[in-house]
Structure 1
Amino acid sequence: MSKLLLAGTAGFLVGILLILLGGYRQGNVPAVVNAAFSFVVAVVPLLVEGVVWLRSGQFVCSGLEISFWLAAVGCLHSYGMLGPYDTIWWWDHLTHTMSGALVAALVYSALIVSLPYAGITGLSTTMIGISTVFLTFVVGLLWELVELVAREAGERYDVEPVLVYYGWRDTALDLVFDVVGALVVVAFDIRILVPVAERFPRVTTTLFLGSSVVVLVGAVLLALIVLHQST
């Protein structure tokens, strides 16, 4: 299984690099930026695994699974910037379902570990699932607002935005498929990060709470900015 994950991760990373090269040759700045960002994000867990192993001789665990998922989502998203987002109607739905599932898997695992560590007990699996779907939706909303603000900034300063905004109907569909991905994670009880989070409960809880605050506050602030610009 680990060999398959390693091969898959390597394949997606090579694909991202090829997309980056193709975007560069085409002068497609959004594709280049998105591919470069996707590659870095997918490699970070592998680097963390390597550093921990060199220092302690142990593996953090789940780093390969996370990198595989990040590389797969990043590759599909980056490739979409070369044309499929405009020519294949379901491509955007696929990438949002996968990215929504990834976010939900991280949130789900963090909730399972953070709540007991913070002394919060008695919550049912259903409540944890609802919280996971809600937070995934907020993360998706934040992303959509960033796309909108990026478009506005690009038009104002005559700069090609690295994120493309396709309108309110597309935004609504993106959020729907983000939620679909989250529902898949909750329904199949995907606990991709639980083994890691259980080893570092304090770090997990701190990162989860901090990230939640940043996401919620960021979504509210960007929503206010968008409302102000539309009036």
Structure 2
Amino acid sequence: MNSRRRTFAPRQLAVYAMQFAIVGILVAGLLARNVSIVVNGVLALAVTFLPALVSHDWEVRPSPGVTLWITLAVFLHAVGMLGLYDHVWWYDHVTHTLSATIVAGVGYATARAIDRYTDAVYLPRRFMFVFIVTFTLAFGVFWEVLEFFVRLGADYFGAEAVLVQYGLEDTIMDLLFDTVGAILVGLFGTRTLSSVVDSIHYRIEELRAG
């Protein structure tokens, strides 16, 4: 009797390894009773399952490279909550840049799919680059405002802040590296996202036909 052995590609194995590591970080946060680590660990782990969720429920199929990209971004953030954000000066810049590429990728894929879906919307290539940067910065500003109010709320109630903001200079630097991430996607990431764009476009067509 022949048995079939399931094999995993290196990218898939890397995703599983990072998910396992995030679970370890989450457990460490629970043992230390650190609310910030626990909340960020739960959110990071949830995000790693989003590609599988949208593939199963919405039939939007990210490539293995995109799944690895998303998982790496949230994994590095979860690791940073262990103390790297406080003790390694450049770590926050790296995670902000990588997270910004995810936001930029979502904005690009959605806008490009809509552009292909209807003739009423036309987004020239040059404008698309501007759109990616603008969309990413808008989300970055929203996130910084959210961090500010979360910190105010935590201070008011005497609780531990799950999102940390270090002041105006830190906010400006975060937005700067958000811009860097958006530019990287605008210059080099659009081809990587082509499969996502195709999936969204086909899904819109199916919904329209149905």
What is the deviation of 1:122? 4.7
Q: Secondary structure at the match of 2:36?
A: helix
Which of 15, 21, 45 aligns to 2:27? It is 21
Aligned partner of 2:124 in structure 1 is: 124
Q: Describe the shift of the 1:28–1:8 C-alpha distance in structure 2 as closer, same or farther (beyond 3 A).
A: same
Q: Describe the shift of the 1:155–1:48 C-alpha distance in structure 2 as closer, same or farther (beyond 3 A).
A: same
Aligned partner of 1:176 in structure 2 is: 176
Distance in 1 of aligned mates of 2:116 and 2:63: 23
Give the conservation status (yes or no) of the 8 Å contact 2:73–2:95.
yes
Which of 40, 43, 58 aligns to 1:37? It is 43
What is the deviation of 1:173? 0.5
What is the deviation of 1:181? 0.6
Give the conservation status (yes or no) of the 8 Å contact 2:14–2:68.
yes
Q: Describe the shift of the 1:145–1:198 C-alpha distance in structure 2 as closer, same or farther (beyond 3 A).
A: same
Offset from partner CA, 1:111-155 (integer Å, 9 cap, x none): 111124243455321101101110100111111111000000011
Give the conservation status (yes or no) of the 8 Å contact 1:38–1:70.
no
Aligned partner of 1:225 in structure 2 is: none
Aligned partner of 2:200 in structure 1 is: 197
Aligned length: 197
Is 2:9 the counterpart of 1:3? yes
Identity %: 31
Offset from partner CA, 1:202-228 (integer Å, 9 cap, x none): 699xxxxxxxxxxxxxxxxxxxxxxxx
What is the deviation of 1:48? 4.0
Q: Secondary structure at the match of 1:8?
A: helix
Q: Which runs of 5+ in 2 are unaligned?
A: 1-7
Aligned partner of 1:93 in structure 2 is: 93
Give the conservation status (yes or no) of the 8 Å contact 1:109–1:194.
yes
Is 2:83 the counterpart of 1:83? yes
Distance in 2 of aligned mates of 1:80 and 1:202: 41
Distance in 2 of aligned mates of 1:203 and 1:177: 38
Output the TM-score relative to the length of structure 1.
0.78
Offset from partner CA, 1:89-109 (integer Å, 9 cap, x none): 110000000000111111111
Aligned partner of 2:137 in structure 1 is: 137
Q: Describe the shift of the 1:202–1:155 C-alpha distance in structure 2 as closer, same or farther (beyond 3 A).
A: farther
What is the deviation of 1:178? 0.8
Distance in 2 of aligned mates of 1:99 and 1:203: 31
What value does the CA root-mean-square deviation take over the aligned residues?
A: 2.2
Q: Which runs of 5+ in 1 are unaligned?
A: 53-58, 205-231
What is the deviation of 1:29? 0.9
Q: 1:199 corresponds to which letter in structure 2?
A: Y
What is the deviation of 1:67? 3.3
Distance in 2 of aligned mates of 1:189 and 1:44: 20
Give the conservation status (yes or no) of the 8 Å contact 2:51–2:61.
no
